[in-house]
Chain A
Amino acid sequence: MTCKGCKVHIPKPRRGWKAGRGTKQFSSWMALITLCSAQAYFILARPHSAQAMTLSLQDSQDKPKPDSQAPAASSGYVGIEACKTCHEDLYDSYEKSPHFKTTLDTRRGPSHQGCEGCHGPGAQHVDNPGDPTKIFSFKTASAKVVNDRCMSCHESGKEQMNFSRSVHSHNNVSCLDCHSSHHAKEAEFLLVKAQPELCYTCHLQQKPQFAMPFHHRVNEGLVSCSDCHNPHGTVSDKQLRTSAAQDAVCFKCHTEKRGPFVFEHETVKIEGCQSCHTPHGSPNPHMLKVSNVNLLCLSCHTTSFANAPGAPSFHNQAAQYQACTLCHSQIHGSNFDKDFFK
């Protein structure tokens, strides 16, 4: 039940409470009702005994079994209105954020609701507002602790389920390095900056690549870093996304190159597109690794071996064969030409 005057969540006593604890909690519950009815919210919220609040608001039988990474569920939840009393600016930002919906979800109890869903029980903090150790602060916590807190709710998301094996996690990159619950600049995903500038913050080396004449249109806003990479981790190297069938992410846009083809350019499927292309950007046309097509082709097709036939001896570089793709235009694969002609 909720005391509507104060909006303080008051767990309903349940049958089967054991003598002793149950009696104590029931007494506290009655005390709270009394206080609440007397419009004594601020007395409750500020200088009164934290112990009383702890006892009054706690109903361990009404909550899921706590675990090590969830906010401590043993005691001391005061509810969101108590937090708002002092932190109205933070409440404002919180109320507009997606996290507010936790307030509406009473199914899992106060340890998953409102401010205390992330910051833990607030009773001791209310009792000692000047002591920062009485409430969990994300500012001072280590990346691992922060991530564990966030993941306790978000780990079930399809985007975040691989976070534990992500490079970001292994490098102690905190969720708060990219997201901010209260001070997000981007409403979408509560990002502290918009992509790609957010990603450039750490991945400095990518910025000059996307400034090359030939590049994927990331700076232009058409493509975002997270279209190809999942910052929360994937099965693949470089946190690259793949299709469910493990196809390279490139084929989502470049669908015509997915195949399968009768005649595959084996390197495309075995070693990937980056064998010939620099995916972020390049000074070379088609984002090729080198400036001359023939130089790139001859790197592999110099001599015949199992995986690459040698270029025929009549391919005279002094004549018209300087760009192999002039003839071998279907270089990614063909259904009817083993030499990848038209």
Chain B
Amino acid sequence: MIFGNSRRSKGNNEVAAAAARRAGGMQKIVASVAASLWITLMGLGMAGRANGQAPGQTQTPPPSTTQTQANNESRAKIWGDYDVQQSAEVGYRDSMIGGNLNNYNTFENLATGWRLFDYTVSMRSIDHKGLFFDNLTFSNFGYGGDPNDVSRLRVQKNKIYDFRALFRRDKNIWNYNLLGNPLNPSSSNPAIPVVSSPQALDLTRKMQDYDLTLLPESRVRFRLGFTHNINNGPAAGTVEGGTEPLLSDKLIYTSNAYRMGVDYRGIPRTTLSFDEFLIYSKVDTSANLTSFPYQLSNGTPVNLGLLFNTVGNTPCAAPITNAGTTPPMANANCNGYLAYGLFQNPRSSFPTEHFSFQSAYFKNLSMVGSVGYASGNDTLTDLSETINAWTSRTAARGSTLGGPTQAKRVTVNADWSGDYHITDKMSINDEFSYNNWRIPSMWATVGTQLFATPPSAPGQAGLLLPISTVTTATFPTVCPTAPYNGPGCPQHTSSSLADVTNELVQQFLGQNIRENTIELQYDFTRKISARIGYFFRARTIADFSSTADVSEIYLPGGASGNAGNDFLAARADCAKVGGVLPAACSLNAATGAITEVGIDAGSDAARNLTEIHEHALLVGVSARPTSQLRFNADLLFGSNDNSFTRISPRQLQSYKVHGTYTPTPWASIDMAADIHENRDNVSMVNNLEHGRTFSFVTTLSPNARLWVDFGYHFMDIFMQTEICFADTGSTIFTAPCPVPAATGPLGTLALYTSRDHYAYGDVMWKPYKRVTALLGYSGSIVRGNATMLNKLQPTGPLDFNYLRPFVSLEVLLYKGVSYKTAWNYYGYNDQGVANPAGLAPLPLQDFNGSNVTFSLKYSF
């Protein structure tokens, strides 16, 4: 209660007195707001310092997440015309977690340190005539180093404005070492396990939302808004090219969204709205090779990549020539990287115009609809990728890539919905929507493949070979005659790509969606109603891909060159067929180079169209037969005549049933079943999927001193699809692929199942008025099965127990001051095969430990 009846009884005298207090109160208000900002800034400061914490540092969740029942009295103060409530909770978390801290930080990331667990302030004008605002609420949590920091501000002045601001900052530590792990075998020499995720991410996302409504109660209402999202952080990624070096990425994603809108409510029970949106996004990314664990014989640092399977010649059969040096000496003939650099900074803008209306002007008919148009444009003008490496298959010693890109997205959409009450008991609802979007795009490529010169010294090979510096202009001078193998001449293989690439790539993707849902609802009684409906959706999907070679140049030269293959100039796209060059390729007899001009093979001549028609029957029942019992059911039976992917359903069924029984006001029992069945069970696909969840929840609150809540959920996920693949080392998969034209020779019906038993229980007990105890538990026990195509694959997330018991105690020490302590346990334990035989051993994913939190909360 912010203020009690005694103050209420003062009636108008208080209002009059408020005016007298206002002048002095304003000073306190200013001081209060300043204090709020100071506390927040302090929190932000602590958050900033926390950014520097070492990975793996641990913490506990804020008491709010332990669901402790606050035992704090609200203590209001009157400042001027305002009723002011504030509370702050500050404390310390001690985190004692053992095991895989990378995994803990990926899942929880609660570390040791001081935290601002909560700070709130609310101010309410007593006479609703505040000078600048009538209501203000400001709440914050998480500052000081927690991974989730949130601040919310809402300020209102009745009839004048309504302002909301939301700031969110979340820290994402991503290092789950099984995803993307190349699973290096123990038989490799050397056997090098990949213990950290090759797709690690340390991303900080800051999101700000501001919305201002002017004249919210007026016939003409204005809305302004701004959203600023920035994702910033280092990451680790890999690049393909003979082997997979781990790169150091820098990512900055920024998006600014501006909103302006006006509502007109001059027509009775009707609102007309127009909104203009502008989203401006920029992506600044760069990737570099910063780790060089090996060296060449001349001392040049080299990265041989993450893949070490020497039995399979990755990065080569014998990558280390001398393990005794520091760093170890690498074989120059291995696939490896000496340098890598990628920069790209695309910019995009999305202006959108949107008109919408809502009306209940006509008797028994309510309508809502909108029309929108958006035209987005994404451009990339500074693409630059440079590689200094050796790929044995193509004999490439590097490459450069660039060229401007542009992609547009044009969207036209409209929708209308009408709800007509035929009688008091019967209504009909129709919804129609139209959405047409298309993405035409192009890329004018400018690329070069760099090749090595012939060896200029004995034993020079692979990564030690110098890169040829010839251009198409200098080639006739440097390499004047066949077989073009002189000093400085680029040396190719039959698998080498073009030396110079200038292409115009054109892509198109679009979808036209028309859908309608009509439903008839009938109220049998005031407490029981049912509805039946029909859903129809027609989708037309169009795609197009074309590459036009403006000028692809194949220079000659290479050890296996001869007149028959034009000294290896006739290769790749220009390889001779029946001794004849393809029509798009022409030989320059003077230089020996071949130029390709024309449309690439495989380009589309016209747009490919996919038509899908979807039909569904909708049935729903809603009943409250007694005041104690409530029941809802939603059923859907759908059929599609086509599917876009092999796992898009052609038949789908959905059953959602939920019942609530409340025998007494202090007890409730909920049961629910949620079943989804999807099938694309046509021949050679045989896709079946289901998700089935069954839930049981009970809440008991017999009195204010005891509250019990417990529940159990069973979730069953299943997926099967016929797949084909290549697997030369398998002894498990021997059945040939049954799918015609499949690119893999082996086939199997791939399975994935996951069964989750999730149970939780909370007991809140107040043995004394000043003491609140909370005991709780939640745990997920997951067991599953999946087709393992690679025998080295750990089962990972298929089988695990994730248990999180907790206890908290809160004691009201003095008026408005309470002490809180909480203990949270985190136990994540793999229950499957963590290190299959033959895998270079990986660290376990398990972590176990406790977080203890001590905090003081002061309400003032």
Which residues of A are at the interface with B, using a C-beta cutoff of 8 A?
64-65, 67-69, 88, 92, 96, 98, 100-101, 104-105, 142, 144, 151-152, 155-156, 158, 161-162, 164-165, 167, 170-172, 187-188, 201-202, 204-205, 207-209, 211-214, 217, 219-222, 235, 243-246, 252-253, 255-256, 258-264, 266-267, 269-271, 275, 283-286, 289-295, 298-300, 302-304, 306-308, 310-320, 322-323, 325-329, 335-336, 338, 341-342
Contact = CB atoms under 8 A, between A and B. Distances in A.
Contacts of A316: 312, 726-729
Contacts, number: 434
B645 to A, nearest CB: 5
A165 B758 contact: no
B743 interface: yes
Interface stretch (B350-358, B587-595, B849-857): B350-358
Contact of A306 (B363, B509, B608): B608
B137 A262 contact: no
A221 B65 CA distance: 8
A117 B744 CA distance: 70
16 contacts: A67-B360, A164-B417, A165-B368, A188-B137, A208-B756, A213-B107, A255-B253, A258-B281, A261-B439, A264-B507, A299-B750, A302-B722, A302-B725, A311-B744, A322-B183, A342-B342
Given A284-B797, A329-B238, A291 B786 contact: yes
Nearest to B608: A306
A306 B542 CA distance: 10
Q: Which of A105, A151, A158 has the most CB of B within 10 A?
A: A158
Contact of B346 (A155, A170, A217, A335): A335
Nearest to A164: B419
Contacts of A323: 179-182
B78 interface: no
Contacts of B634: 167, 171
Interface string B747-784: 00010101010101000000000000000001010101
Q: Which of A155, A221, A292 has the most CB of B within 10 A?
A: A292
Interface in B300-328: 307, 309, 312, 314
Contacts of B470: none
Interface string B144-163: 00011010101010110000
Nearest to A289: B719
Contacts of A142: 523, 526-527
A302 B685 CA distance: 9
Contacts of B429: 164-165, 170
B543 A266 contact: yes
B102 to A, nearest CB: 12
B726 A266 contact: no
Interface in B387-431: 401, 403, 405-409, 411, 413, 415, 417, 419, 429, 431
A285 B64 CA distance: 26
B723 A302 contact: yes
B531 interface: yes
Q: Is the contact region of chain B dominated by helix, strand, or loop, or is it mixed?
A: strand
Q: Is the contact region of chain A dominated by helix, strand, or loop, or is it mixed?
A: loop
Contact of B2 (A96, A167, A291): A96
Contacts of B419: 164-165
Contacts of B368: 161-162, 164-165
A9 B802 CA distance: 62
Contacts of B150: 221-222
Nearest to B354: A244
Contacts of B526: 142
Interface stretch (B89-97, B554-562, B734-742): B734-742
Contacts of B778: 211
A313 B205 CA distance: 40
A220 B147 CA distance: 10
B835 interface: no
A245 B376 contact: yes
Given A245-B374, A255-B253, A161 B356 contact: yes
B186 interface: no
Contacts of A312: 743
Contacts of B409: 245, 259-260
B439 A295 contact: no
A339 to B, nearest CB: 8
B5 interface: yes
B273 interface: yes
Interface in B500-515: 505, 507, 509, 511
A183 to B, nearest CB: 13
